[in-house]
Amino acid sequence: MKILRIILALCVLAGLGAAEDKTPLKVVRVVGTSEVKVVPDRAVIEVGVEKQDPSASVAKHAEDAAARRILAVLRSSGVEEKDVQTTFLSLQPQSYTKKGVRISYFVAAQTMTITVRDLPKLDTLLEALIKAGGNRIDSIGYETSDLRKYRDQARELAVKAAREKAGDLAKALGQDIGKAQSIEEVPESESTVNTRFNSYNAWAYSAPAKMAPSIAVGQKSISASVMVSFELN
């Protein structure tokens, strides 16, 4: 029994010695961010059609006719079928009271989401869609078809920014940085990807002919952030 106690004591002392020898790793942890400016090369628009009539059937047929005209305009403009999708379809009863009389009717509505890859034709296309029967432009968003490439660029720049920041902090302490111990990408919010303008009502739209474009594409910001820990020497 005495020998067993001696062995246990030696094991405890050895463990304490190892713990003292293993000093905590000194690191500097920083967040690197970057932003890449990109000119969009396509737009995603939502065009709506609404028709109303006391008869549900008449309202629906009127909406269908306008939708067919819109599809014909898209085909003639070179928009491929894969870039057109019906994303909303509705037929609902509505009513209001006028001078004590309740007036009832039906509203038939449809929304199409359209990807336009030829941006110089966007203004002309919107005008053609409205003339064909589209009476709502619900939204327009600008995108880049090579988003992966620009995200990779932004991520690489963010890593470089993190290293530079860590180096500057260590230098201020009179030290240097060593190898990276960990790296983690900080998720970006969706607001950095899409720019949207909503709710343009085109019921009474009448576009003058031969005018300069009324839509500005501008630039998109694609950003990236990373958290990196470097050894502090």
Q: 80 and 47 in one domain?
A: yes
Q: Where does a domain end: 108, 143, 178?
A: 143
> How many whole angstroms separate alpha carbon 63 and alpha carbon 51?
5
Q: Is 69 exposed, middle or buried (0-12, 13-18, 19+ CB in 10 A)?
A: middle
- Could you tell me the two tokens for 46? 């939502």
Taking only the tens place, the pLDDT of each residue in 46-87 is: 999 999 999 999 999 999 999 999 999 999 999 999 999 999
Same domain, 128 and 161: no
Query: What is the average pLDDT value for the chain, to the nearest integer?
Result: 83
- Residue 9, in any domain of the structure: no
Number of domains the chain is built from: 2
* Cβ contacts of 115 within 8 Å, gap of 6 or more: 42, 43, 44, 79, 83, 84
* Whole-number pLDDT of residue 193: 38
Pairing, β 101-116 against β 42-53: antiparallel
Mean of pLDDT values over 178-201: 64
Say if residue 138 is in the same domain as residue 53.
yes
Residue 204 domain flag: no
**Judgement on whether residues 155 and 232 belong to the same structural domain of the protein:** yes
Whether the full predicted model's pTM is greater than 0.75, yes or no, is: no
Q: Which domain holds residue 65?
A: 42-143
pLDDT for the residue 26: 87
Q: Examine the domain organization and report whether 90 and 49 are in the same domain.
A: yes
81 and 163 assigned to the same domain? no
* pLDDT band per the 50, 70, 90 thresholds, residue 211: low
CATH number of the domain to which 152 belongs: 3.30.110.170
Q: What is the CATH number of the domain that holds 106?
A: 3.30.70.2970
User: Average pLDDT in the 28-55 region?
Assistant: 94
Q: Write the Ramachandran bin of 182: left for phi over 0, alpha for psi from -120 to 50, otherwise beta.
A: beta
Residue 122, in any domain of the structure: yes
Phi/psi for 58 (5° steps) reads -65, -45
> Considering the domain boundaries, does residue 12 fall inside one?
no
The last residue of one of the domains, among 143, 163, 185, is 143
Q: Are residues 71 and 115 in the same domain?
A: yes
Q: Kindly state whether residues 173 and 133 are assigned to the same domain.
A: no
C-alpha span between 227 and 159 (Å, rounded): 8
pLDDT at 127 over 80: yes
> Within this chain, do residues 103 and 172 fall inside the same structural domain, yes or no?
no
Residue 189 CA to residue 73 CA, distance in Å, equals: 36
